[in-house]
């Protein structure tokens, strides 16, 4: 079993963004389940983002769209979504503008300095939303891939509406363990259509074979006795000793507590990281900088430094909590699966701690 943890300290220093007229430059936490971004990808995303801001300022919206789209694919964050949505809005691509602005508004940071920008985002989202339709899709199987007109739009349950051009659309849901489901709906401009896709469990090959055998006749598939050596009575084995599940419950509960602490510290660190970016941007907007701050910015820069230290501390605590949770879970799993009534040493499971550039974890080695 392997468990990774997000290193907040690395994310804190991953990129420094600049502002342009009418464009946000704060960088909040990435959406849930987004892959960890490597240093090279983060640098390339930051470079594309900066180029996009400059092109947007020069009103070269087509070129800005390409750069910001590249930044989004490398590192999908709130600020990229906001600026890409603004660019789509300028190009009259209302469906895409609504999609990106909706994402930005869902992940908007809690900071006063971004209130004016949020008002702009809400206004442009409202204007774009009035030009397109929306689908609220519910699939019967969690994790099912949802497709609209043959294009994947996410996995169930979808976090937000799917914006589409007015007209008729085919919505599908696919999952390896379930029968696919589909529905064709029509949605008008500014309207919302609800799509429910119930999904039945797929039949296994054995079930299909049984159905085919039953249809072939009453005597189909019956096998008569086969000659062979007589059966030899075997002395029954003694029943295995009863296993106490108290240690498993205790270790599992402790592992859950450690995981909860890790998640809590990760969320807290992400919130502090949002504030760090907001404070840095506020200092820049006021004409200051923290490399060699002037007297009027000394206190602000000191507060920014302390906030960065809090991000690092929360990241380390989260990492330690994740590792502890993994070790406890591994111990519970080992105890639960260890054979009863046997003495074995050669295949004794081992719990090995591991570390790598993007996190830490544990590995359980053994055979059952």
Identify the residue whose tokens are 């989004």. 72
User: Which of 66-70, 240-244, 331-335, 356-360 has the weakest average pLDDT?
Assistant: 356-360
Task: Please say if the pLDDT value at position 167 is more than 50.
Answer: yes
Task: Please say if the pLDDT value at position 60 is more than 60.
Answer: yes
Predicted confidence at residue 94, as pLDDT, reads: 94
DSSP tally for the chain: helices H, then strands E:
9, 9
- Mean per-residue pLDDT, 127-133: 93
- Mean per-residue pLDDT, 342-348: 45
Predicted confidence at residue 223, as pLDDT, reads: 42
Q: By C-alpha distance, which of 169, 168, 144 is closest to 158?
A: 144
Spatial contact of 5 and 314, defined as CB atoms under 8 Å apart: no
Task: Please say if the pLDDT value at position 337 is more than 90.
Answer: no
- Mean per-residue pLDDT, 235-261: 75
Spatial contact of 83 and 37, defined as CB atoms under 8 Å apart: no
Strands (E), 198-271: none
pLDDT band at 216 (very low <50, low <70, confident <90, very high): very low
What percent of the chain has a predicted confidence (pLDDT) above 70?
A: 69
pLDDT band at 340 (very low <50, low <70, confident <90, very high): low
- Provide the whole-model pTM: 0.47
- Ordered by where they begin, the domains of the chain are 132-202 (2.60.40.1120), 246-365 (no CATH)
The whole-chain average pLDDT of the chain stands at 75
User: Which of 70-84, 182-196, 350-364 has the weakest average pLDDT?
Assistant: 350-364
Task: Please say if the pLDDT value at position 135 is more than 90.
Answer: yes
| Bridge partners, 147 (sequence order) | 152, 172
pLDDT tens for each residue of 169-207: 999 999 999 999 999 999 999 999 999 999 999 876 556
- Report the run of H or E that residue 364 belongs to, with start and end: strand 359-365
- Mean per-residue pLDDT, 350-366: 53
Planar angle of CA 208, 214, 216, nearest 5 degrees: 105
What's the rounded Cα separation, in Å, for the pair 315 and 29? Answer: 14
pLDDT tens for each residue of 11-47: 222 333 333 333 333 333 334 444 556 788 888 989 9
Predicted confidence at residue 15, as pLDDT, reads: 31
What's the rounded Cα separation, in Å, for the pair 174 and 40? Answer: 34
User: Which of 84-98, 101-115, 158-172, 235-249 has the weakest average pLDDT?
Assistant: 235-249
Q: By C-alpha distance, which of 124, 125, 127, 132 is closest to 148?
A: 132
- DSSP H helices, 60-179, are 61-74, 78-90, 94-106, 115-129
């Amino acid at each position: 079993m392997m468990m990774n943890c997000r290193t907040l300290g690395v994310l804190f220093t991953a990129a420094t963004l600049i502002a342009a007229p009418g464009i946000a430059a704060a960088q909040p936490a990435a959406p849930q389940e987004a892959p960890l971004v490597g240093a090279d990808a983060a640098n390339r995303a930051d470079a594309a983002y900066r180029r996009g801001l400059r092109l947007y300022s020069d009103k070269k919206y087509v070129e800005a769209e390409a750069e910001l789209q590249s930044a989004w694919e490398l590192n999908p964050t709130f600020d990229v979504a906001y600026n890409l949505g603004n660019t789509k809005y300028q190009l009259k691509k209302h469906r895409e503008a609504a999609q990106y602005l909706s994402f930005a508004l869902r992940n908007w940071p809690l900071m006063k300095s971004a209130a004016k920008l949020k008002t702009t985002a809400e206004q442009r989202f409202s204007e774009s939303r009035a030009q397109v339709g929306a689908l609220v899709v519910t699939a019967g199987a969690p994790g099912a891939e949802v497709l609209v007109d043959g294009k994947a739009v996410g996995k169930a349950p979808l976090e937000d509406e799917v914006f589409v051009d007015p007209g008729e659309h085919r919505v599908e849901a696919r999952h390896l363990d379930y029968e696919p489901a589909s529905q064709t709906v029509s949605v008008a401009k500014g309207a919302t259509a609800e799509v429910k896709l119930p999904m039945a469990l797929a039949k296994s090959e054995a079930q299909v074979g049984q159905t085919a055998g039953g249809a072939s006749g009453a005597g189909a598939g019956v096998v008569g006795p086969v000659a062979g050596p007589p059966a030899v009575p075997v002395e029954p084995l003694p029943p295995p000793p009863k296993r106490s599940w108290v240690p498993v419950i205790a270790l599992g509960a402790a592992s859950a507590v450690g995981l909860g602490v890790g998640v809590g510290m990760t969320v807290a660190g992400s919130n502090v990281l949002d504030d760090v970016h907001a404070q840095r941007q506020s200092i820049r907007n006021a004409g200051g900088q923290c490399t060699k701050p002037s007297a009027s910015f000394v206190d602000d820069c000191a507060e920014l430094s302390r906030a960065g230290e809090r991000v690092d501390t929360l990241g380390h605590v989260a990492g330690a909590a994740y590792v502890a949770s993994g070790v406890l879970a591994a111990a519970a799993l080992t105890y639960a699966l260890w054979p009863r009534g046997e003495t074995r040493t050669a295949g004794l499971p081992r719990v090995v701690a591991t570390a790598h550039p993007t996190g830490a974890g544990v590995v359980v080695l053994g055979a059952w």
